[in-house]
Amino acid sequence: MELPANKRILGRTAACLGVVQGLAWAAMSLAAIILYKWSPTFDTATTYTREIGLLLYLVFIQDTSPNTNFVIRPLDFTIFMWIYFIMSVGWVALSLDQFVAIHYNKRRQKPIILMWSILTLIVSLIDLIFTCLLVRDYSTCNEYSEDTYNYSCYLAFGIAMTLAARGYTLWLVNVIFSFYMLRTAVNIEKRKDKFANLFSDHSIPRVTIPKPNNTAPIHRSEELEPNFLNHDNSFPSFLYPTDKLDQEDTLRSFQSRSDRSNENRAPSFLSRGEKFSY
């Protein structure tokens, strides 16, 4: 069933956001996994960007922090990266399929939109959990009196929290889109049921003739039904004479009628066109 125009636009927009975010977070998580397994050696950072990258590597992957009260250790961080990588790849696949299904009005719109909404909610929940754990570790950065370490700790966990929360605004957009698309999938099912119920009774109603209340047989007497037809001819019986006297009377009546009709007829010579002269 085809979606309305506004829902089609929002559905394609949500799918595009899912593709972009899935590719970006899959790339970042895969890079973190490779760095955890590889453990490369870094030279002295010469730019601010390289310094930030080295700081994140030392805090979350190399475990060089003197603070032992952190919840997120390098192994825990790598487990989260594996979860993000798997979820991001699935998110990209579902987002692409959702875009195609909505754009070309495929029949699988409802299940694809439903799966996309559920997966987006799961990703948002993982983001929230990971962000909360990072906030907890962020609050323990001031346990040491060294200003340089405190600055590096705050900076590293601040960047990690921003990435985990997807810039905070984007996380909120994902939650809104997931609930909106979930509602859209439910409305598709309701519209299908309503449309099916509308045309389910396709039979033509038939007129039922009520039966008479009195169904007892009617007994007719032969005396009440006049026999208009004789057994041997098709003339009514009251016109057909049954005895000799009646036959004579009938014959006389026909003869008298014939005589009267001849008297009223015009003379034969007038009918032949003869002239009459005095």
Residue 217 phi, psi (nearest 5): -65, 145
pTM of the model: 0.66
Instruction: Give which of 74, 47, 55 is closest to 148, Cα–Cα.
Output: 55
Tokens of 79: 């487990």
DSSP 3-state of 229: strand
Q: What's the pLDDT at 221?
A: 47
* Residues 26-52 pLDDT 10s: 999 999 999 998 877 766 667 888 888
* Residues 228-264 pLDDT 10s: 444 444 545 555 555 555 556 666 666 666 666 555 5
Q: Are 99 and 14 in contact (CB under 8 A)?
A: no
Residue 236 phi, psi (nearest 5): -60, 145
Q: How confident is the model at residue 275 (pLDDT cuts 50, 70, 90)?
A: very low
Q: Are 72 and 134 in contact (CB under 8 A)?
A: yes
Least confident of 101-105, 187-191, 247-251: 247-251
Q: Are 106 and 132 in contact (CB under 8 A)?
A: no
Q: What's the pLDDT at 54?
A: 86
Tokens of 260: 């009267």
More confident residue, 11 or 144: 11
Is the pLDDT reported for residue 220 higher than 70?
no
Instruction: Give me the chain's average pLDDT, please.
Output: 78
**Residue range 109-126: average pLDDT?**
95
More confident residue, 203 or 138: 138
β-partners of residue 229 are: 236
Q: How far is CA 24 from the centre of its chain?
A: 32
The residue written with tokens 């098709």 in the block is 234
Is the pLDDT reported for residue 215 higher than 70?
no
DSSP of 126-176, one letter per residue? Answer: HHHHHHHHHHHHHTTGGGS--HHHHHHHHHHHHHHHHHHTTTTHHHHHHHH
Q: How confident is the model at residue 224 (pLDDT cuts 50, 70, 90)?
A: very low
